[in-house]
Amino acid sequence: MSLKTVEKKIVDRLKEGNRGDRGWFIITRVHVDLHWLKGIVEYIFSKAGDQPISLTEQDYSQLGRIVNINPVKPGMQLRRHHLLVMDKPLQLLRRTKKSLWNEIQLTEEGVALANALDSADVLERSLSKIRFAVEPWSPPDRVEQYSDFNVLVYQAVKQVLLGCGGHIHRDEYDFFVSRIREDSEIASAISGILEYRELSSVDQKSLHVHVSDRIENKKSYSNWRDQALHTFSLFSLGTSMIRKNHRLLLTSNWVAEEAVDQKVVGRSIKKIKPNPAASKGLKIPTPPQSDELLSPPIPPEGNVGAEAESFVAKVLKSQGWTVSFFTNKRGYGFDLWARKDDLAMVLEVKSSVGSLGQINLTANEYKAAQHYKANFYLALVENIGSDDPKMTLIQNPFENLVFVERKTEFHAVSERSWRNFAE
């Protein structure tokens, strides 16, 4: 395929309409991360449930900690980026008074996400509904600017991925995918990408000038290109796709690409705190004033465990497994149960935002590994929340790994001491 043929396709498409970019504008310039997305809906739900709420400066300060921004007044940044993408296009929350942020309310999907074990499954539904550029997924001014666009963007991308070997690069998204106006153009986009891939890297790079010349300045062009990666992050929230650096892949293709390294990791038992005993004639004391606890507590670090469990489930589902979550069920000793035809297994998920070091198992987890043996897997997820997560599956850790038993650390108080205080 010649450079001129592909170049003509891109130039002809860019010439249509009066906007320089003429491509999807789905999201503000923010990387959408499941950790802060779920953290925000959990926070709002803990304060207001499914009822409207007016966020205070203290609320914004708490939300700023969740998304890891710490300006003096984070409200403006949250409204312009994080809360905005939760409103449009994800529709996890809504502004009760049109475009004003005075009062917000979780939608049905927002409530579902706040209470979900499998966050990706909830977000798959939200992503599948997004249309560009149609209200309520796009604001009125964007609907007017892109009046010839009416496409289910997530569904369209899935079709493109299926037709292009299960993956697309940011440049391919920019040139061909983001310019789809309706379903009838999906086939042409697939054809364009396949022709583009036959070009040399030098020829591919030369095509960028046609887009950059139509956008106001270098900064605007850079922002436009970055939007592709933010969109990849957005789409990766669902069950169907995973972002890997500058590429977007079907989850099944990500699995096929990943080389799973089996590593032997030592074992220790997590700290277990004793349950406090209840005394007869219980009287609730008056606690001291605490500004910190006037808002719902948030964890010092993101709940990467829940995100990792959702990620592992997403990977397994892409391979045809049915997955159930046992995370909040006490006594089982594993996080996930998975079945495929006549095969079944249980998985305990361990994760980190960086590299995993020592792996800690509770007594219940160790007993489960001992009981299920070859049907018990450790799913180790590293770099969770990044654009290059890694997953290692270790089968039958009870027999295949070297375990080191650790005594549980605890602080003891005698019965006499606490009874004297209680009486």
Q: What is the pLDDT of residue 16?
A: 79
pLDDT of 261 above 50: no
Strand partners, 152: 131
- 197-211, 383-397, 407-421: least confident range: 407-421
Q: What is the pLDDT of residue 278?
A: 41
**b or e along 140-159 (b: 16 or more beta carbons within 10 Å of the residue's beta carbon)?**
eebbebbeebebbbbbbbbb
CA–CA separation, 304 and 353 (whole Å): 7
- 65-74, 263-272, 330-339: least confident range: 263-272
Across the range 296-325, mean pLDDT stands at 85
Closest by alpha carbon to 239, among 118, 350, 151?
Answer: 118
Q: How far is CA 103 from the centre of its chain?
A: 25
> What confidence tier does 303 reach under pLDDT thresholds 50, 70, 90?
low
> What confidence tier does 17 reach under pLDDT thresholds 50, 70, 90?
low
Of residues 284 and 320, which shows the higher confidence score? Answer: 320
pLDDT of 78 above 90: yes
pLDDT tens for residues 18-30?
666 778 988 877 8
Residue 167: phi and psi, rounded to 5, are -155, 155
Q: What is the pLDDT of residue 419?
A: 62
Q: Is 102 exposed, middle or buried (0-12, 13-18, 19+ CB in 10 A)?
A: exposed
Q: What is the pLDDT of residue 276?
A: 46
Q: Is residue 117 within 8 Å of 309, Cβ to Cβ?
A: yes
Q: Contacts by 256-262 with C-beta closer than 8 Å and gap 24+?
A: 256/166, 258/390, 258/391, 260/391, 260/392, 260/393, 261/392, 262/392, 262/394
Q: What is the pLDDT of residue 345?
A: 93
- Helix count and strand count (H, E) for the chain: 19, 14
In angstroms and rounded to an integer, the radius of gyration of the C-alpha atoms of the chain is 25
Q: Is residue 155 within 8 Å of 235, Cβ to Cβ?
A: no
Torsion of CA 72, 74, 77, 79, to 10 degrees: -150
- 141-155, 188-202, 212-226: least confident range: 212-226
Q: What is the pLDDT of residue 19?
A: 63
Of residues 126 and 293, which shows the higher confidence score? Answer: 126
Closest by alpha carbon to 411, among 273, 240, 279?
Answer: 273
pLDDT of 271 above 50: no
Q: What is the pLDDT of residue 221?
A: 84
- 37-41, 170-174, 224-228, 313-317: least confident range: 224-228
Q: What is the pLDDT of residue 217?
A: 80
Across the range 323-343, mean pLDDT stands at 89
Q: Is 52 exposed, middle or buried (0-12, 13-18, 19+ CB in 10 A)?
A: middle
Largest Cα–Cα distance of the chain, in whole Å?
Answer: 89
Matching residue, tokens 């095969």:
343
pTM of the complete model? 0.84
CA of 416: how far to CAs of 177, 207, 281, in Å? 72, 80, 18
Across the range 178-200, mean pLDDT stands at 95
Read off the amino acid at residue 289: Q
CA–CA separation, 403 and 358 (whole Å): 11
pLDDT of 265 above 70: no
pLDDT tens for residues 201-214?
999 999 999 888 88
- 88-97, 266-275, 309-318, 414-423: least confident range: 266-275
Read off the amino acid at residue 107: T
Determine which helix (DSSP H) or strand (DSSP E) holds 60, and give its type and residue range: helix 57-66
